[in-house]
Amino acid sequence: MNKVLLGLLLGAVLGAIDGTTAWFTPEARAEIAGIVIGSTIKGIIAGILIGVFARKVHSLALGIVFGLGVGLLLAFIVAQMQHGYYFQIMLPGGMVGLIVGYATQRYGRGPELRQT
Amino acid sequence: MKSLSDKVVARLQADMRLPDLSGTRYNLLRYLAGGGMGSVWLAEDTLLKRRVALKVLDLAAPADDLAVCLLSEARILAGLEHPGIVPVHDAGTLADGRAFCCMKYVEGETLAQHIATLNLPDRLRLLERIAEPLDFAHARGFIHRDLKPDNVMIGAFGEVLVMDWGLAKVGVSTLEAGETEIATAVQPMQNSLRVTGQGSVLGNILGTPGYMSPEQARGDMEVDHRTDIFSLGAILTFMLTGSAPGELPASSGSVPGPLRAICEKAMAADPNARYQAAREMTADITHYLNGEPVSAYPESLLERSGRVFARHRTAVVLVAVYLIMRVLFILFARR
* CATH code where residue B75 lies: 3.30.200.20
Question: Looking at residues B274-281, what average pLDDT do you find?
Answer: 95
Q: Does position B70 have pLDDT exceeding 80, yes or no? A: no
Q: What is the ipTM of this complex?
A: 0.83
Contact in structure between B284 and B296 (CB atoms under 8 Å): yes
pLDDT band at B98 (very low <50, low <70, confident <90, very high): confident
| B120 in any annotated domain | yes
User: Quick check: helix, strand or coil at residue B171?
Assistant: coil
User: Quick check: helix, strand or coil at residue A80?
Assistant: helix
B232 and B318 in a single domain? The answer is no
Domain of B196, CATH number, reads 1.10.510.10
Domain that holds residue A99: 3-106
| B60 in any annotated domain | yes
Check B58, B65, B135, B146 and give the catalytic one: B146
| A112 in any annotated domain | no
B140 and B278 in a single domain? The answer is yes
Domain that holds residue B125: 107-298
- What's the pLDDT tens digit per position in A58-114? 999 999 999 999 999 999 998 888 777 788 888 888 999 999 999 999 998 877 766
pLDDT of B63: 55
Note if B135 is an active site residue.
no
Count of all residues that appear for chain B in the document: 335
Contact in structure between B295 and B284 (CB atoms under 8 Å): yes
Q: Does position B163 have pLDDT exceeding 90, yes or no? A: no
pTM: 0.73
| B46 in any annotated domain | yes
- What secondary structure letter does DSSP report for B58? -
Partner B contacted by A87 (CB < 8 A): no
| B1 in any annotated domain | no
Contact in structure between A97 and A43 (CB atoms under 8 Å): no
B284 and B174 in a single domain? The answer is yes
B255 and B312 in a single domain? The answer is no
pLDDT band at B61 (very low <50, low <70, confident <90, very high): low
CA-nearest residue to A106 within chain B is B315
| A99 in any annotated domain | yes
Count of domains forming chain B? 3
pLDDT of B36: 64
pLDDT of B164: 83
Residue among B318, B325, B330 minimizing CB distance to A102: B318
Question: Looking at residues A14-26, what average pLDDT do you find?
Answer: 85
CA-nearest residue to A29 within chain B is B333
| A111 in any annotated domain | no
Q: Does position B207 have pLDDT exceeding 80, yes or no? A: no
Count of domains forming chain A? 1
Closest CA to A89 of B271, B265, B183, B329: B329
The residue among B316, B319, B331 with the most chain A CBs within 10 A of its CB, best to mutate, is B319
The residue among A14, A17, A21 with the most chain B CBs within 10 A of its CB, best to mutate, is A21
pLDDT of B47: 92
Domain boundary residue among B52, B81, B105? B105
User: Quick check: helix, strand or coil at residue B34?
Assistant: strand
